[in-house]
Structure 1
């Protein structure tokens, strides 16, 4: 069963925008190539460009769990880490309500 993950991140206000964008691209290139990742999209808050939401689609919850475990290793350390103002918030959605 596929799942959707929303990853909410907030970057340090003093971080240069180009450094943030480079780190986001580098981090998400790794995410996109991870087995089970189907798609990624980054949404930037209109009122606060230091806040972003990454919308991820995964083939299975197990694929996402493996990815999260990999990110916790030294090899999986994300480039965005040093630029974050606070810990990211992850929300996972596996169930949907059919419309129609």
Structure 2
């Protein structure tokens, strides 16, 4: 069963929309190519366009854990994104669902 990750990011106010979106695309291109990533979507807060939530779907929790470990290495560092965020992102993971039918 797949799992979902919500990554809430606050962008810096002094970075242009174009630069921020380029950094997001660069970073998420790497994420999307990582083994076990099923999908990515970036949603923008209507009240604060500098607040984003990245919705990630992963095949397994182990796949996401491997991705997080890789991001902690020099090869996986998300330097482009780090340059445009105002602070550390907030990550929430969900690997259990409640069937509705």
TM range (shorter): over 0.9
TM-score (norm 2): 0.96
Give the match for residue 81 of structure 1.
82
| In 2: Cα distance, 1:20 partner to 1:91 partner | 22
Q: Which runs of 5+ in 1 are unaligned?
A: none
1:1-26 deviation digits (Å, cap 9, x = unpaired) = 31000000001011111000000000
Q: Which runs of 5+ in 2 are unaligned?
A: none
Give the match for residue 90 of structure 1.
91
Give the match for residue 53 of structure 2.
53
Give the match for residue 13 of structure 2.
13
Shift of 1:28: 0.4
Residue 21 of structure 2 aligns to a residue whose secondary structure is: helix
Residue 86 of structure 1 aligns to a residue whose secondary structure is: coil
TM-score (norm 1): 0.97
RMSD, matched Cα = 0.7
| In 2: Cα distance, 1:67 partner to 1:41 partner | 17
